[in-house]
Structures are given as structure tokens and as C-alpha cells.
Chain A
Amino acid sequence: MKKERKAVWTKHLAGRVGFLLLGTVMFVGSYGLVMTGLTRLLLALGTERFGSEMVNSVPTIHRSMCLTMPITWAIYAPVRFVASTVGNPLYALVFVLIAASFFVGPLFCGWLCPAGGLIEHLSRLVPARLKYGLQGKIDPAPLRYGFLAGWILVAAPIWRGTQITSICCSNCNFTWTENIWNAAFGDFYGFIGLSSAGLITFALWFLVLGIFIKGGRGWCIFLCPAGALMNISHFLGKHLSFTRKLKVKKEKCTFCGICVKECPTLALKINEKSEKTLNINYHVCNICLDCVKLCPMEALEYSKIC
């Protein structure tokens, strides 16, 4: 890599790690100050019932900032979802992120997500010879959306009384993110009483689709329902002139393949049919902008349609 490009890349990577730490503090660390303030406000306004709901819960991505359960509540129990959200507005967070993705893409995924970002950056520390790469070999979108459909289906009330049940909690990588950070601060409680589903989740999120896959974002692009919905929103929004998305400047691209090789979400592919093109898969792109910063020709940009 040329010296100037390396400096740009290093600055970009440092920025992404910084945002990961911010996302970790926001979503995994105690958000007590915000929640205490909100609770006091609600109680002062006389909405004691709503205030007491928030008083009883420490906000974390595992619980009151959950990014998965509210999706199934909104589909199958909308009244319960609205009532729960009035008591804890953070349940609406995932929908705010999905709505925002319409305009700016899944920036949360690429920059703030404490679960995806943790594994992506940890995988950079694993030697390349120990990792397998899927870049340019597979389109994650069909499997991703198939999983999303199945994930939504198993949460349906029709399965009550059967062996099929929602896997929101049993297969939650955000819980493991919290367990890991708690352990880093000396609290190993999350590792007591392991469940088989939890072990499978850890193996898939951290190992098989995590640090041992090139890019470290295997879980994100295949098994994250929140990310899948954000990308659906992004895909729909990208057609509009006022929304931001990743674009290729065709006149500058030399098809060197660096972006394809380095993209953590397998979102880039060189199409070698009648006319060579660099294609962007908006169904998996998480706007990390690694490709923008790595491209020696500055052929990629994140902007609105001209």
C-alpha cells in the first residue's frame, strides 16, 4: 500500500475502533445516567406507571435496548409492543436504526454495533493463514433473508405448545458481547450455567463466522435479523436521489480487486461478463467505508446520487 494511502487507512481504522468503543459504552455499558434522567422526568410529569417501568431495568443491549425481540413483538403483538415501548422507549431503537438506514445505510452496523465491530476488529489480530475467505465466492443475501424469514416465523404464536419457539434470546450474540465485556471487568457470571443454544451461538458468532472468517462479519451478514432489516431498508432507499449509499466511479476503477478482497461483508464483486464492472451488493453492505479508504484510485465514494 502506498504511504499516503496507508496513512488514510490507518486513520480510518482508528476512527472505526473509536466508534466501536463508543458503541460499546452506549449499548453495553451502563446507560444509567440517561435512564435515570428519563425516569425522573416521567415521574415528575406524573406518569408514574411509565416511570416505574424504567426504574426497574438497567438498560443494556441485552435487555431494555434489545434489538431483536421488539421486531417480533411489533409483528405478532403490536399492542404489547406499543405498551412496552411507552414504558421503555428504547424498544423502538431498532426501528429508528432501520428507518435511518433508509437514508444513510446501516451505519450502525459498520461503525457502532458492539457485537459485530468487536469480532471484526478482533479478527484483524488473527493471522491470515488461519482464516478462510468467502470474498467473491458467495452471495450472502439469499441465505441472510432466508434466515430472517425463518427467524420471524419461529417467533409466531401459532407454535405455542410445540417444540418451535422464538430464538431471540437463546441465540443472541449481544448477550455474549455483554458477557465478554463483563468478564473483562472481572464479572464472569455470564459464563456460568451455559446453555447449548448459547454455546452454538458463541461458536458461530465468535469463531466459525467470527474471528476465523476473513472480515470477521460472518454472523452479521448471515444471521443478524436487525442487520438484515437495516439492509432491506437501505436497499429500498438507495434508489432515491437524497439518500446516501456507496457508489463506484466507473471511470476511475481499474479492477485491482483490493476492495473485493478486503470487504468484511462480501459486498463487492467484480463482474467479468460482457463488460467488466465492480458491483456493490446493497443487501449486505454495512457502510464501513473500508473500501473507500483502501482504494488506491479513490474510485469508491459514499454520497448521494449526483
Chain B
Amino acid sequence: MTAIKKNKAAMVLVVSVLAGFLLPIGLSAYHSAASPAESMHLFYSFPSEKARPIVFYYGAGGIAKIIDPNTLEVTIGLTNTDKPRMIGFRLEDLPQNVHVHWSGFYTKGFSEEKKIIDRAVGRGSSVSVHLTFFIGEADGKSVIYSGFFEVYDLNTGDTLLKIPVNILNVKAGGS
């Protein structure tokens, strides 16, 4: 192989490796930028007194929002760090223009109707809850929803985890 051909082959190799290497970095950055306005996976432990808020930015997002502008979703992974319990879930202070679809996201025993898990979640075990928010008329409000996602003990009623949930309307100045 001539020197020129060798150099060309080496350059093609380097460019290919670099292109492959940069692709996941680009995808990752784009996903991070778009996800708070589209879909998130978040993980929490319970019981806990503190929880990182779930914040959505309605009206922003990437290409998916061209097709589906009014849907926001979050998968909440919950790990029990305490004794085995049966748990239930609540979303507090939900306004009329926001409809929520609940799903157990492959968690056995999840009841969409009752929003509970009908078997004990053991210590160290994890479950998932998937919430899809369908946003109706935003009415120009900067805050579409400000409430809490609560995990509670089915037997005692004790609150095990309270996650603040905020849906901010970017188009009305919510940020």
C-alpha cells in the first residue's frame, strides 16, 4: 500500500472511531436538554423526608414535541430501604386541565385503579410507577401544576415519601 493510501486509511479509521465516539455524547446531551420537557426516569428511596423535585417544562422539548406537544411522562423508580410494606400512591392538588394516566411499568401487583401495589415490597426491593400527564388548556398560566407525588404505607397511612411535582409553562414565562 502506498504512503498516501496508508495515510488515507489511517484517517478514515480515526474519523470513524471519533464519529462513533462523539455520537453517544451528542445523543446524551440532546436527551438531557429535551427530557425535562418530555420524559424522565428518576429514582428515589423510601422512607425519606427529603426528595428531589420533579420539574417539567411544558412547551419546550425536542422533535417529539412537534408530534406530541401535550404529553409529559415520568417513570419513578422507588427502592424500599426499610421493613417490608404494602404501599400506595397519590398525586395531590391535581388541577382539572391535567389528566394523569398511571401505570406500574412492569411492576407486578400494581393496581391502576387503586394506585397501590397489592403485595409487600421487601427491604431492598424496587418498584416503578409511570405517570403520563396529559395537559389540556394551559390558559396562559406560568405554573400548570404544583403538587406532590406521595408514597404512603397502606396499613398505617404514614407518608413514606413526598416528591414535589411542578409543571411549568415555558411559553407563559414559567422557569
Contacts and interface: CB of A to CB of B under 8 A. Distances in A.
Which 10 A-B residue pairings sit nearest by Cβ, starting from the closest? A146-B20, A196-B62, A52-B122, A142-B16, A146-B17, A147-B20, A193-B73, A195-B39, A150-B24, A143-B20
Interface string A163-181: 1111101110000000000
Contacts of B121: 52, 56
Given A146-B17, A146-B21, A147-B20, A53 B124 contact: yes
A146 B19 contact: yes
A197 interface: yes
A197 B31 contact: yes
Given A165-B31, A195-B64, A62 B20 contact: no
A49 B124 contact: yes
B108 A56 contact: yes
Nearest to B70: A193
11 contacts: A52-B84, A55-B122, A57-B108, A58-B107, A143-B16, A150-B20, A150-B24, A154-B24, A165-B31, A170-B27, A194-B39
B106 A193 contact: no
Given A53-B122, A57-B108, A142-B16, 19 more contacts: A48-B122, A52-B84, A53-B124, A55-B122, A57-B126, A58-B108, A62-B106, A83-B124, A147-B20, A153-B25, A154-B24, A163-B32, A171-B24, A192-B132, A196-B38, A196-B63, A197-B31, A199-B64, A200-B27
Interface of A: 48-49, 51-53, 55-58, 60, 62-64, 83, 87, 139, 142-151, 153-154, 163-167, 169-171, 189, 192-200, 222-223
Q: What's the dominant secondary structure at chain A's contact region?
A: helix
A194 B19 contact: no
Given A58-B108, A146-B18, A167-B24, A193 B68 contact: yes
A151 B26 CA distance: 10
Contact of A150 (B23, B32, B41, B101): B23
B34 interface: yes
Contacts of A139: 16
B136 interface: no
Contacts of A223: 23
A57 B107 contact: yes
Contacts of B63: 196, 199-200
Contacts of B101: 192
Nearest to A60: B106
Contacts of B84: 48, 52
B29 A197 contact: no
B94 to A, nearest CB: 17
Most buried by B among A48, A150, A171, A200: A150
B120 interface: yes
Given A53-B126, A196-B34, A196-B64, A151 B119 contact: no
A52 B38 CA distance: 32
A139 B24 CA distance: 19
